[in-house]
A and B are shown apart, each in its own frame.
Chain A
Amino acid sequence: QLQLQESGPGLVKPSETLSLTCTVSGGSISSSSHHWGWIRQPPGKGLEWLGSIYYSGSTYYNPSLKSRVTISVDTSKNQFSLRLSSVTAADTAVYYCARFRTGSTGDYWGQGTLVTVSS
């Protein structure tokens, strides 16, 4: 059974960079049939796709956040990572990592991790 687990600081200061890692277990991240994405959910609000990466390193970002988001992959560790720069309180959210298959169907999700932006 594929499992995804987010990890990283739960508190980030304004203007700094938020960094999270998603560790994939029970399967390989090196699949050409899937992309690996980050999604966030501010408290009490909806889901927002931030971006995705294929194991080859090809990336796709939400146009509204493209200038601040960087997603990378480390196939040797079966991990992919998110960096979101210049954060503000509006970036406070639960951040999820997920596997997407053909047509961007998110079939496996991590449990999510709350990141609070505050001084």
Chain B
Amino acid sequence: QSALTQPASVSGSPGQSITISCTGTSSDIGGYNFVSWYQQHPGKAPKLMIYEVTNRPSGVPDRFSGSKSGNMASLTISGLQAEDEAVYFCSSFASSTTVVVFGGGTKVTVL
């Protein structure tokens, strides 16, 4: 069982917007602004898409955005494209000892 809770799957049509939720506790997501989101295509390593809740690394399209409210973080993909079909994982800093916790992953399907 993962420390952070994500829906197993989310789907949308090309051009639509989808949002993936990531629920934690006050000890992780709610306690720090250190939420990251990763995209993973089959057979590939995770790729950082969002860091520190809202920031995009260089090269990540601006249709990917992140937010947080209380103990829940969200990743929104606007203008969904075929290449966005992948599994998305959230993660958070949790404490000075348990430094990284992950969500179970959400499979995004582009219809």
Given contacts A52-B100, A103-B51, A104-B34, contact A47 B45 (CB under 8 A): no
B45/A109 in contact, CB under 8 A: yes
Chain A contact residues, majority secondary structure: strand
Chain B contact residues, majority secondary structure: loop
Binary contact track B15-48/A, C-beta < 8 Å → 1, others 0: 0000000000000000011101010000011111
**Inter-chain CB contacts under 8 Å: number:** 72
Size band of the interface chain B makes with A: 20 to 34
The chain B residue sitting closest to A49, CB to CB, is B100
Q: List 29 A-B contacts (CB under 8 A).
A: A37-B99, A37-B100, A46-B2, A46-B103, A47-B91, A47-B102, A47-B105, A48-B102, A49-B99, A49-B102, A62-B98, A63-B97, A96-B46, A100-B99, A100-B100, A103-B32, A103-B36, A104-B34, A104-B92, A104-B93, A104-B99, A104-B100, A105-B51, A105-B52, A106-B38, A106-B48, A107-B48, A109-B46, A112-B45
